[in-house]
Structure 1
Amino acid sequence: MAKEILSTENIELGVQVSSKEEAVRYVGGILLNNGYVKENYIDKMLEREEIATTFMGNSLAIPHGTEDAKKEVIETGLSVVTVPDGVDFGDGNIVKLLIGIAGKGDEHLEILSQIAIICSEEENVEKLIQASSKEEIITLLNEVNE
């Protein structure tokens, strides 16, 4: 049976990170520890940030691996980390919501577009950042799927 793409195990609320690299490693670490990716995927996530930032506006970043990182993905999955104090992603872009993505094949593209739809509304991002439980995050992210 395939793993759930997003379970409560993949969510951490109220995390403090001091740098973009630490933030990306944290998000990638959740995917690694829960068996979605191989260890190399985290390096590919960092490599991806060097090519182009995954900062999306609205306090959101969606770290993910480079194109050639697909072979490091075991199962499609998401990790969600809230950083209420914010972390600087460069150029004064402060990120408070991180959604890490690991996608098999092209599966992540659909996930990306759903996240983009949800997070294009600043109030939705704010709700996610303020969420008091992991279940609340899952509910908020699933609302668009219905």
Structure 2
Amino acid sequence: MTLPILSKENIELNKKVDTKENAIKMTGELLVARGYVEPSYIDRMLEREQLTSTYMGNFVAIPHGTEEGKQSVKESGIAIIQVPEGVEFGEGNEVKLLIGIAGKGDEHLDILSQIAIVLSEEENVEKIVAATSEEEILAFFEGVN
């Protein structure tokens, strides 16, 4: 059975997280729990963050694995975690929206570009951070599949 790339089960609201590393782990654990990746993918996500920050601006981070992490990906998928109180992502960068990505082959590039379109509007990010239901967030990403 193929999993949808994004469903309301892949979205967690009102999370609190104390560190960037724990934020990345939480995002990876959701991808693992939903069946998109092997647990080893989380280590590749942490590795990626050490190489280059996944902070994108606009209160958004898009944690994902390294190239080697692709072998831990079972299905392409997205996990979205809302952190209204924010988490420090280094150098004064605050993140309120974590979007974890796992892509088979080059699928992550398509997923990333579709997400970037939604998140390029600062107003969309504010609405997603303020959303009170998974469905509300899902509506922003309807085109991502």
Do they superpose with TM above 0.5?
Answer: yes
Given that residues 118 and 144 in structure 1 are in contact (C-alpha distance below 8 angstroms), is that contact kept between their aligned partners in structure 2? no
Distance in 1 (CA, whole Å) between partners of 2:102 and 2:65 is: 7
> Which residue does the alignment assign to 1:35?
35
Number of positions where the alignment pairs a residue of Structure 1 with one of Structure 2 = 145
> Which residue does the alignment assign to 1:101?
101
Given that residues 24 and 63 in structure 1 are in contact (C-alpha distance below 8 angstroms), is that contact kept between their aligned partners in structure 2? yes
Q: Match of 2:95, SS?
A: strand
Distance in 2 (CA, whole Å) between partners of 1:120 and 1:144 is: 15
> Which residue does the alignment assign to 2:22?
22
Deviation at 1:121, TM superposition (A): 0.8
> Aligned pair 1:59/2:59, yes or no?
yes
Deviation at 1:143, TM superposition (A): 5.3
Identical columns (%): 59
Distance in 2 (CA, whole Å) between partners of 1:119 and 1:87 is: 18
Distance in 2 (CA, whole Å) between partners of 1:23 and 1:59 is: 13
Q: Match of 1:30, SS?
A: helix
> Which residue does the alignment assign to 2:128?
128
What TM-score results when the alignment is normalised by the length of structure 2? 0.97
Q: Which amino acid aligns with 1:46?
A: L
Q: Match of 2:50, SS?
A: helix
The superposition leaves residues 84-127 of structure 1 with CA deviations (integer Å, 9 ceiling, x where unpaired) of 00000000000000000000001110110011111111001111
Distance in 2 (CA, whole Å) between partners of 1:144 and 1:67 is: 22
Q: Which amino acid aligns with 2:15?
A: V
Q: Match of 2:141, SS?
A: helix
Deviation at 1:34, TM superposition (A): 1.0
**3-12 vs 52-61, greater mean Cα deviation:** 3-12
Pairing of 1:40-119 with structure 2 (within 5 A): 40-119=40-119
> Aligned pair 1:139/2:139, yes or no?
yes
Distance in 2 (CA, whole Å) between partners of 1:41 and 1:12 is: 19
Unaligned runs of 5+ in 2: none
What TM-score results when the alignment is normalised by the length of structure 1? 0.96
1:67–1:124 CA distance, 2 compared to 1 (3 A): same
> Which residue does the alignment assign to 1:10?
10
RMSD of Structure 2 on Structure 1 (CA): 1.1
